[in-house]
Amino acid sequence: MANTTDPFSTALLKQFSPLDGLKRDNLAALARKVTVREASPQQLLFKEGDTEKRTIYVVSGTVELVDQGKVVETIEGQTEGARNPLSHALPRRVSARAKNRVKFISIDSDLLDVMLTWDQTGSYEVSELRGSPADGSGDWMTTLLQAKAFHKIPPANIQAIFMRMQQINYKSGDVVLKQGAEADFFYVLTRGKCLVTRETPLNKEGIKLAELNVGETFGEEGLISDAKRNATVTMMTDGSVMRLGKDDFQKLLNEPMLDWVTFEEAEEIVRGGGRWLDVRLPSEYENNHQDGALNIPLYFIRLKINALDPDIKYVVCCDTGRRSSAGAYILSERGFQAYVLRGGINKV
């Protein structure tokens, strides 16, 4: 629809409401996710009836708000009328059309809502946990807040999560967690890179499952399924993590994030275009599985996640619900619409 140009500055963001109410460092964190876009004359920024959750501000130029072909309002950039978002109610009650060349910004509304809520409920600014931009750790919190899964979590939980996290520093080559060890923490990588490997009977060195970058999380599978670690995570560079204890993770993050369904509800989702996702081992799957189910073992979920369709609803299943709840958490955390079969297929 429009071309992306340069990133926004905090000074420009402060021209808009309610962005002007954000604390300085929180505004800077949001600014890194915002870019200026351009629209040509007569180009639509959005249509009447649109339901996409975007918050749009006019930076420069003139936008016409059109209702059934008639211009009902004109918004000029750099004026008082441009301080507020364009036709913010959903579905859109009017169309927005560029009268001349227009520059505007478009922000994910859910992200903005979470950022505003965090800003107004948090007892400290994002910068106190974020680290300094110079060390490359500046984006981890914004990355977490932008995850669709975080939009399900009550604001008070978000505040408590960040309050209770502990920072741990590591050197290149350090093992953060070891395959076979007890699961005790949930981790967010805040600086550096990590390698995830899994040892097998045929490969004692470990097969590579994934590389993790700033803002990515790990350690949730063992906490949710109450099992030992199924992989080893090693620092590829010097870096640091924030970690959250098992009890806090279960209460503050896991419980509000998971959507449990009965077998009847699951079948309804599948009939409506969804799909079963079986996270058991191939041998278990071959012995007994739901018709049409896709099989991706839990420890391969991160590696195979790009093969999944983000537009499909997945009903994640295993024998009891333990492994499937871990799989559904990982999918939800990455923006997929995932459900967990309550009690597992053993109860079907």
Q: At what angle do helices 155-164 and 109-121 cross, to 10 degrees?
A: 60
- DSSP track, 70-117: EEEEEEETTSGGGGSPSS-SSS-SSEEEESS-EEEEEEEHHHHHHHHH
**Position 300 in a domain:** yes
The pLDDT tens digits for 200-227 are 877 777 788 889 998 888 988 888 877 8
pLDDT tens digits, one per residue of 262-282 = 999 999 999 999 999 999 989
Using CA atoms, how far apart are residues 303 and 334, in angstroms rounded to an integer?
13
**37-61 pLDDT per residue, tens:** 999 999 999 999 999 989 999 999 9
Give the end of a domain, one of 204, 235, 254. Answer: 254
Q: Quote the CA–CA distance of 199 and 201 in Å, as a whole number.
A: 7
- End-to-end, the C-alpha distance of the chain in Å comes to 48
Examine the residue annotation and report whether 317 is marked as an active-site residue of this protein: no
Kindly give, in sequence order, each residue whose CB lies less than 8 Å from that of residue 230, ignoring residues fewer than 6 positions away.
179, 198, 221, 222, 298, 299
Residue in this structure with the two tokens 């008082």, named with its chain if needed: 80
CA–CA gap between residue 189 and residue 282 (Å, rounded): 31
Condensed to tens digits (0 to 9), the pLDDT of residues 148-204 reads 666 777 767 777 887 888 889 999 999 999 999 998 999 989 899 999 998 887 777
| Phi and psi angles of residue 339, each rounded to the nearest 5 degrees, phi first | -125, 155
Are residue 199 and residue 280 in the same domain, yes or no?
A: no
Same domain assignment for residues 142 and 94: no
Examine residue 29 and state whether it is found in any structural domain, yes or no: yes
Closest CA to 192 of 165, 209, 166, 174: 174
Are the beta carbons of 58 and 75 closer than 8 angstroms?
A: yes
Residue 117 lies in a domain: no
The CATH number assigned to the domain holding 94 equals 2.60.120.10
Of the listed 19, 114, 318, 330, which one is catalytic?
318
Where does a domain end: 188, 223, 254? 254
What ranges in 65-183 are assigned the alpha helix state H?
A: 109-121, 127-130, 140-146, 155-164
Q: Determine contact, residues 138/215, Cβ cutoff 8 Å.
A: no
Flag whether 115 is in a domain: no
Residue 79, C-beta contacts closer than 8 angstroms, at least 6 positions apart: none
Domain that holds residue 100: 3-108
Q: What pLDDT is attached to residue 118?
A: 65
| Total domain count, the chain | 3
Backbone angles phi, psi at 38, to 5 degrees: -125, 145
